[in-house]
Amino acid sequence: MRRGLPGAVLFDRDGTLIRDVPYNGDPGRVRPMPHARAAVDAVRERGIPVAVVTNQSGVARGLLTLGAVEAVRRRVEELLGPFDLWAVCPHGPGDGCACRKPAPGLIRAACAALGTDPRRAAVLGDIGADLAAARAAGAHGVLVPNDMTRPEETAAAARTAPDLLTAVRRLTARPEGADGVLVPNDVTRPEETAAAARTAPDLLTAVRRLTARPEGDP
């Protein structure tokens, strides 16, 4: 996805849309992440389909039932509004499925159901597996780090955003000429950093990201 609006925005669930409570099947423990409702609404207002792509290995581990996963889904939609699609992987790490992130199956299936090419889709997540799945599917991945995101995952991400609303605003901004990268310093204003479509912590990182192979290329 190089220009224009995304064909769909796919959100990871735990740690991205809602607080990560491991193997949670209790709707009463669902808490949205900061700006989550505003971010999803901003995508909806552009007429872009929204979906959730989530690993729920607690089902395979015997810690969750599919009914509990469904109950949490209903609570998420009560808090954040309806999503066009939910794609859930119930398998465990050793099951060898093609859908569990970092495999691309969930993203490909969601895009097929929504009628969009994965190359026009954006995937927002909080860990490296989310971005690896996006890359494997040919989609546009954006890391929105939280306290559980490992520093090396943030450093390796080609695209990051400080919060979900900023990520969405950058994705849905009208293109203005050539792509630019902001490398903030001590005199860069916070609002300039927040408004920038692409940022890098230093000049070397910016150049490495610009010269890296596009996602989906062999």
Point out the catalytic residue in the list 12, 126, 130, 163: 12
Rounded CA-CA distance 74/146 in Å is 24
Find out whether 135 and 127 touch, Cβ atoms under 8 Å: no
Based on the residue annotation, tell me whether 130 is a catalytic residue of this protein.
Answer: no
Rounded CA-CA distance 16/137 in Å is 19
Structure tokens at 25: 């099947």
Structure tokens at 211: 């010269």
| Distance, C-alpha 78 to centroid of its chain | 20
Point out the catalytic residue in the list 14, 126, 130, 163: 14
Q: Which residue has the tokens 């992987």?
A: 89
Amino acid at 116: T
Main-chain phi, psi angles of 140, to 5 degrees: -95, 110
Q: How many residues does the chain have?
A: 218
Nearest to 27 by CA among 78, 66, 83, 72: 72
Based on the residue annotation, tell me whether 117 is a catalytic residue of this protein.
Answer: no
| Distance, C-alpha 37 to centroid of its chain | 14
Which sequence positions are flagged as catalytic? 12, 14
